[in-house]
Structures are given as structure tokens and as C-alpha cells.
Amino acid sequence: MTRWTSSVGAPQLARLLGSQHGRGTVTPLGGRRTPAYRSLADGIRLLVLEGRVPVAARLPAERELAAALSVSRTTVAAAYEALRGEGFLESRRGAGSWTAVPAGSPLPTRALDPLPPEAGESMIDLGCAAAIAPEPWLTRAVQGALEELPPYAHTHGDYPAGLPALRQALADRYTARGVPTMPEQIMVTTGAMGAVAAISRLMAGRGERVAVESPSYANVLQLMREAGARLVPVAMARDLAGWDLPAWRQVLRDAAPRMAYVIADFHNPTGALAPEEQRRELVEAARAAGTLLVADETMSELALEPGLELPRPVCAFDPAGNAVITVGSASKSFWAGLRIGWVRAAPDVIRGLVAARAYADLGTPVLDQLAVTWLLTTGGWHEAIALRRAQTRENRDAVVAAVRRHLPDWDFTVPRGGLTLWARTGGLSGSRIAEAGERLGVRVPSGPRFGVDGAFEGYVRLPFTVAPPVAEEAASRLAEAARLVASGATAAVETPRTYVA
Ligand SMILES: Cc1ncc(COP(=O)(O)O)c(C=O)c1O
């Protein structure tokens, strides 16, 4: 059986290697005193660790890469040999060579678990990208829901597709955003996670290929892994430029995945916003490949730049909802404690999903649905979101300033929306910083949690959910953690408790 799930061509690999130059991370090919084969091996290793080249991606034949890089074939052969020795490459005669990560690497096997609030103030929790409720809107919404409750009290309370009033309000919201939608195209779920779980159960079972952005949202990656899906990572474009469309086309063509899961709006963890043209092209490429595109809009309301013009939703390029299944949620725009998410798709897809979710949770709490209905139908939704955006913008600016002050060699692009900053940790291991941070009272998820197979070791994710003074203290503790890691002092540190998010 072939072990690779995607491939990277010689010109593409040459381009990726070239883009590393001058970024202070690798010695350029043929650089001072480093043998050329070593520089090449280091460059490829870094591309794998950063997720720029996915794990299990077939590399070009030695001869082709040598020609593309204008180096000798012996150089490429020696680099491949070195990578094989270090566990970053596997080869089989006739099948070629494909990327890997060494056995025993700290692969993430868990998703993101929030720390209980009672964990105390001594630990700053940067693990969870969810904010406090935008009061007074939560209280008002629940009061409004209580007033609407009496007629429902006389029913069985079991609404597997969601309350008709909320389905209508959500459909109206899509229509107002320019994508005409009927209530039959909406199913209310228990958070976006409930939506993705139902979709995975119905569409992407054991052994099915699912293409995902690399990096992507850790909990969805974990959910799909546990469902037995074979994840095919596709690297994001650099500098928050959205998707790498040529890479997507190649994966859709070569791997023909059953499903692809993408976050077009303020991507978690990078914050990237896919431009409208990319949305159109990805929908077309997925349709041509027969791949179902799942577009997670959980972050879509979190534009942080005033006046930022948002592209049309991904489903605008498949309004019937046969090729694109949209997932939404009130968790980030309003409050995660309500556990309200939804799916928008064609009515018969919705019917299949309603049947698929029945074995998991039967339905979503009526009172919570009434609260979101109240928000959407009274205008409270817009006011609450305006408040949420203002708070998040302030928090984002504080985190950015604090990291620049305390960790000047950390490198990132400031996102225009969303809840997270994806930071390169100045060449240090993000996992080690996370371990050291936990001992110093700051809990931060390291990059590999957002990668498919050990990629992104040089990253951490920082959320915009803590107030400015806390961000300042968190960055100062992280700087101390980074100093410990840089000095090698953490090697002797015992492994911390296992709840690192
Ligand atoms: C992209 C994305 N999808 C889904 C979720 C989970 O959402 P919910 O709380 O609605 O289950 C999150 C939470 O961080 C997220 O960032």
C-alpha cells in the first residue's frame, strides 16, 4: 500500500526552500561551511516541522529536485539519506520517498481542554480561545427566552433539527448576508463541534480521506482522527494570505478526499481570512473532485478592523448547499456556554444529518435555542457582537504589544480578526516552552496540537481572551519560559501534569 497522501513537486519544493532564505531559520543552501546536503536536509526538515510540507507527502525524485535546485544529484541523495536517518523521510523502492516525523516525537494525541475556572489565579490560562459573556446581553437573552418558554413547556421538547423559530432566524440571517436560505436548510446543533461530529459521522467514516488546512483547529482534527478518518494536510499560504490554491488543487486531484474541512473566516489558529476569489476557486475545485467542502464559520463575526470589508460566505458559491456544508456557532460571536451551533446545507443533507445526530444527543436545549432566537430577532445579536469585537480588539492589541516587548524574536502576522495569534517561537520548541510555561504559571498550547503529524513544533497559539494586564504578565512568564528553554535548563524539568491544552 502507498504510504503517502499528497505530493510536492520539484518546482514547488524549490520555491518553498527558497522562501526560507533570509528568515534566520536555516542556513541557505551551500551557506558558510555547512555542507550543501546538510543545508538541504535542514531546510526540508524545517518545512515538515512547520507544516509547509505535510507529513506523508511524496517528495520529488532525486534527479528532479537536483535539477530544480541546480545542485548535484549526489547532494540530494545525501540529504534524503540524512533525513531517512533522522526519521523525517521514509522510502520504498518503486513507491518513492515521503515525509515523516521521527518515532517518539511528542505527537499531540489530545485536543484543547479548558482549565476549570477554579484552577486559581496563579495559572494564566491561554489554552482556551473563548471569551466571557458580553453582558448584559446574556442575562437579557435568557430573560427573553424565559418569556418565550411557556408554549414550549406544553410540548415534548424534542426538536432534533432545532426549534422552528431559530431555524427561521438563522435562515433569515444567511438571506440577509446575500445567500437566500430556507429554514429546511438549517439544523441547530450542540455547538459547532456537534455539527462537525454529525457531519463526520455521516460523511467521513473510518478510513476516508479528509483534507484539512495545516494548521487547523485542534479539536476538529482530534475528532476526525478518533472517527478513523485519514487526514490529508494542506499548508496555509504565508502571511495570512488565505489558502494555497495550487496545493489544494493538487491534493483534491491526487488524494480525491471524501471531505475537506476549512475555516475561511479568521482561521483558527492563524487568523487568516480567505479572499473571495479563493472561495470561489476552492468550491469549484472541490466540486470537480467530488469532495464535500465543510466550511466552518465559527469565527466569521469576529472582524476586528473597523471598516474591514468581508468576502461573501463560502456557501455563496454553492447556495443550494449540495457541495458546501456550512457550520456556524454562537460560541465565539456570543458565548460558548450556550452551546448553540448550526449547519446550513441542502434540505436532504440536513435530513441525513438530523438522523445521524440522533444517536449522539437527540437535540439541543430549548432554553438556549430560545435565547439565541431572542438575540437574533431583537437586534441584541448585533449589539452583543459590537461589544465582543471591541473587547477582543483591545485584547489583541495588548497581546501583540506584550509579546513584542517581552519576546522580540517571536515572529507573527497580526490577524485582522478572530481570536488567536499564531506565533513562531524564535527557533525554540513550542512544546518545551509550553512545558516550562506550565511550571511558571502560564498555560499555552504548542503548535503540534494544530498540526496533523508533529508539524509546527516551532509555534504556540495565543488567544485574545485575556485583559491587557493579564496579557502583559503572561508574556513576561512566557519570556522566562523561553529563556529556560534556550538555556537548556528545561531538559531536566519533570514532565508537567497532562492537561496542557
Ligand atoms: C473553528 C472552530 N470551530 C469550532 C469551534 C468549537 O465551537 P463550539 O463551541 O460552537 O462547539 C471552535 C472553537 O474554538 C473553533 O475555533
- Label residue 45 by pLDDT band (50, 70, 90): confident
Full residue range of the structural domain in which residue 85 is found = 6-99
Residue 490 banded pLDDT, cuts 50, 70, 90: low
Counted residue by residue, the chain has a size of: 501
Q: In the chain, pLDDT over 90 holds for what percent of residues?
A: 70
Percent share of the chain, pLDDT over 70: 90
Residues 373 and 401 in one domain: no
Ligand 1: does its nearest atom lie under 6 Å from the Cβ of 5? no
Residue 112 alpha carbon to ligand 1 centre in Å:
11
Asked whether residue 290 falls in the same domain as residue 337, the answer is yes
Over 50: is that where the pLDDT of 425 sits? Answer: yes
Question: Could you tell me if the CB of 372 is within 6 A of ligand 1?
Answer: no
Q: What is the pLDDT of residue 54?
A: 78
Question: Which residue's CA is minimally distant from atom 16 of ligand 1?
Answer: 268
Instruction: State residue 108's pLDDT score.
Output: 47
336 ligand 1 Cβ < 6 A = yes
Question: Which of the residue ranges 48-52, 115-119, 481-485 would you say has the lowest mean pLDDT?
Answer: 115-119
The answer to whether the bond into 151 is cis (omega within 30° of 0) is no
pLDDT range class, residue 34, cuts 50, 70, 90: confident
User: Ligand 1 centroid to 85 CA: how many Å?
Assistant: 39
Per-residue pLDDT, averaged over 102-109, amounts to 55
Residue 105 has pLDDT above 60, yes or no: no
Question: Could you tell me the distance, in angstroms and rounded to a whole number, from the CA of residue 331 to the centre of ligand 1?
Answer: 7
Clarify whether residues 347 and 391 are in a common domain: no
- Distance between CA atoms of residues 128 and 496, nearest Å: 18
Cα of 195 vs centre of ligand 1, distance in Å, is 10
Same domain, 270 and 351: yes
Q: Indicate whether 24 pLDDT > 50.
A: no
* Residue in the structure block whose three cell numbers are 459521522: 201
Shared domain for 169 and 29, answered yes or no, is no
Q: Which pLDDT does position 120 carry in this prediction?
A: 58
In a domain, 492, yes or no: no
Range from 182-186, 226-230, 289-293 carrying the lowest mean pLDDT: 226-230
Q: Please give the pLDDT value at position 494.
A: 37
Reported as a single tens digit per residue, the pLDDT across 323-342 is: 999 999 999 999 999 999 99
pLDDT of residue 30: 40
C-beta of 420 in contact with ligand 1 (< 6 A): no
47 or 365: which carries more pLDDT confidence?
A: 365
pLDDT tier at 21 (50, 70, 90 boundaries)?
Answer: low
Q: What does the angle CA 299 – CA 414 – CA 445 come to, to the nearest 5 degrees?
A: 65
Residue-level pLDDT at 362: 87
- Please name the residues in contact with 500: beta carbons below 8 A apart, sequence gap of 6 or more: 127, 434, 435, 438, 443, 445, 446
Helix axis angle, 245-255 to 276-289, nearest 10°: 10
State whether 390 and 449 are in the same domain: yes
> Residue of the nearest CA to atom 15 in ligand 1?
298
**What does the pLDDT read at residue 121?**
65
Distance 288 CA to ligand 1 centre (A): 28
Residue 205 is predicted with a pLDDT of 79
* pLDDT classification of 186: cutoffs 50, 70, 90: very high
| Pick from 473, 486, 407, 406: nearest CA to 440 | 473
Q: Which of 378, 402, 422 is the last residue of a domain?
A: 378
**Measured between alpha carbons, how far is residue 109 from residues 15, 161, 273, 500 in Å?**
32, 32, 28, 11
Region 268-297 average pLDDT: 97
The minimum-distance atom of ligand 1 relative to the CA of 194 is 11
Per-residue pLDDT band at 357 (split at 50, 70, 90): confident
Query: Mutate which of 216, 266, 298, 420 to test ligand 1's pocket (most atoms within 8 Å of Cβ)?
Result: 298
Q: Is the pLDDT of residue 488 over 90?
A: no
As for how many domains the chain has, the answer is 3
Q: Is 265 in the pocket of ligand 1 (CB under 6 A)?
A: no
Give the number of the atom of ligand 1 that is nearest the alpha carbon of residue 329: 10
Ligand 1: residue whose CA is nearest its atom 4: 192
pLDDT at 114 over 70: no
- Taking CA atoms only, the protein residue closest to ligand 1 atom 7 is 192
Q: How far is the CA of 294 from the centre of ligand 1 (A)?
A: 13
129 lines ligand 1 (CB under 6 A): yes
Ligand 1 within 6 A of 331 CB? yes
Is the confidence at residue 26, as pLDDT, over 70? no
State if residue 328 touches ligand 1 by the CB under 6 angstroms criterion. no
219-223, 461-465, 485-489: the lowest-pLDDT one: 485-489
The confidence score (pLDDT) of residue 100 equals 84
341 in ligand 1 pocket by Cβ < 6 Å?
Answer: yes
Which of 217, 270, 338 is the best mutation target for the ligand 1 pocket, counting ligand atoms within 8 Å of the beta carbon and taking the most?
217
Given a cut of 70, is residue 115 above it in pLDDT? Answer: no
Q: What is the CATH number of the domain that holds 28?
A: 1.10.10.10
- Residue 212 Cβ inside 6 Å of ligand 1? The answer reads no
Nearest Cα residue to 284 out of 234, 323, 254, 242? 323
Q: Tell me the torsion sign for CA atoms 145, 147, 148, 149.
A: positive
- 63 with 188, same domain: the answer is no
CA atoms in the 13 A half-sphere facing the CB of 430: 29
Give 426's DSSP letter: T
Residue 357's CATH number: 3.40.640.10
Q: What is the pLDDT of residue 442?
A: 94
Which domain-ending residue is among 378, 407, 438? 378
Q: Exposure of 410 by Cβ count < 10 A (0-12 exposed, 13-18 middle, 19+ buried)?
A: buried
pLDDT at 500: 26
Q: Are residues 361 and 418 in the same domain?
A: no
In the prediction, which pLDDT does 46 show? 81
Q: Considering 333, 353, 378, which residue would you say is the last residue of a domain?
A: 378
308 with 230, same domain: the answer is yes
Residue 352 lies in a domain: yes
What's the pLDDT score for residue 163?
97
Stretch 69-82: mean pLDDT: 94
Contact by Cβ (8 Å): 80, 92? no
Instruction: Check residue 89 and give its pLDDT.
Output: 92
Q: In the predicted model, is pLDDT for residue 359 greater than 60? A: yes
- What rounded mean pLDDT belongs to the chain? 89
In a domain, 1, yes or no: no
**Residues 145, 277 within the same domain:** yes
Do 35 and 146 share a domain, yes or no?
no
190 Cβ closer than 6 Å to some ligand 1 atom: no
Q: Is residue 11 part of a domain?
A: yes
* Ligand 1 pocket test target in 126, 193, 361, 464 with most atoms within 8 Å of CB: 193
Average pLDDT over residues 168-189: 97
Q: Across residues 60-88, what is the average pLDDT? A: 93
Cα–Cα dist 273/385, whole Å: 18
Co-location of 326 and 421 in the same domain: no
Residue 501 counted as domain residue = no
Which of 268, 339, 392, 450 should be mutated for ligand 1, with most atoms under 8 A from CB? Answer: 268
What is the model's pLDDT at position 28? Answer: 38
Lowest mean pLDDT across 120-129, 132-141, 235-244, 320-329: 120-129
Q: Evaluate if residue 233 carries a pLDDT over 60.
A: yes
Q: What is the pLDDT of residue 12?
A: 87
Asked whether residue 382 carries a pLDDT value surpassing 90, the answer given is: yes
Please indicate whether residue 191, judged by its CB atom, sits closer than 6 Å to ligand 1.
Answer: yes
Is residue 112 assigned to a domain? no
CATH number, residue 481:
3.90.1150.10
